[in-house]
Amino acid sequence: MDTPAARLRARLDTARPAIAMSAHNALSAKLAAEAGFDAIWGSGFELSAAHAVPDASILSWETHLAAMRAMVEVQSAPVVADIDTGGGNAVSVAYLVPRYAAAGVAAVVIEDKTFPKDSSLRPGGRQALVPVAEFQGKIEAARIADGPLVIARTEALIAGLGQEEALKRGAAYAEAGADAVLIHSKQTTPDEIIAFCRAWPGQVPLVVVPTAYPQVSFAEVAALGKVGLIICGNHAIRAAVAAMRETFAAILAEGGIAGVEARIASVADIFALQGDGAMREIEARFLR
């Protein structure tokens, strides 16, 4: 069956990990697909940032779900939806996941922190984890027939619980039916993650997000033979913020818009991304 989940599963190759780029709206997802990324990371952090609110379970599920649906509709790469803690418990997960399935997402990522969540990379952020058995219940509740893949994310390393606890949780989540395990770290070197990958028994592919340790290459991750998906976790929103700040500052400094014209996308490029040409074809055929 050619479902988004099936297409993503086929790309989770530990010999050649799929690469996902973050997105915070339909346009950034379309640009990521245009660039050639294997998948789109529907980032809760980026979506929160795009609304200028903290990444702390503040945005409504309707807002998040609408964003994921829009990403699916405008491009063909599988969308991996970051649903944080899944809304609190197994009941909320069982309610939410069918709605994400209906929106066409290929996978959902659920993390084992307590609700409401706090950003993993924020200094001093709260990192309390739920009991293993409780999180296994969330994984089981998320598994639905012909539904999205379930990626279980453990924050054990970030919470300071060590490799043994991280490996224990990862194995328990795979046993509960997770299709992949996301292991996260905010260490500034990849050593902690590399050690985890080498110790991982390999029941399911691993997923890594090398935001905090960008010096590790995709080839080095692939050489570990354990990782099926690498997520570029927040690069779309950071690139957008940097580009807008530079452009806005230049316009004010130069006293006009002429100087930035050669450095920003053309209006024709924006029309193309909007699908204006396809709309004109419809107009020509049916609105005579």
* pLDDT tens digits for range 257-270: 999 999 999 999 99
Q: Which of 2, 13, 38, 55 is catalytic?
A: 55
Choice between 256 and 124, residue whose per-residue pLDDT is larger? 256
Residue where the block lists tokens 């990371």? 41
141 to each of 45, 189, 239, how far by Cα in Å? Answer: 24, 35, 36
What b/e sequence results for 171-197 when a residue is b if at least 16 CB atoms lie within 10 Å of its CB, and e otherwise? bbbbebebbbbbbbbbeeebebbbebb
The listed CATH number (3.20.20.60, 3.30.300.180, 3.20.20.105, 3.40.50.720) that belongs to domain 4-234: 3.20.20.60
Is 38 labeled as catalytic in the residue annotation? no
Tens-digit pLDDT profile for residues 217-266? 999 999 999 999 999 999 999 999 999 999 999 999 999 999 999 999 99
Section 21-27 average pLDDT: 98
**Domain coordinates of the chain in residue numbers?**
4-234, 241-286
Q: What is the reported pLDDT for 168?
A: 98
Residue where the block lists tokens 């924020």? 122
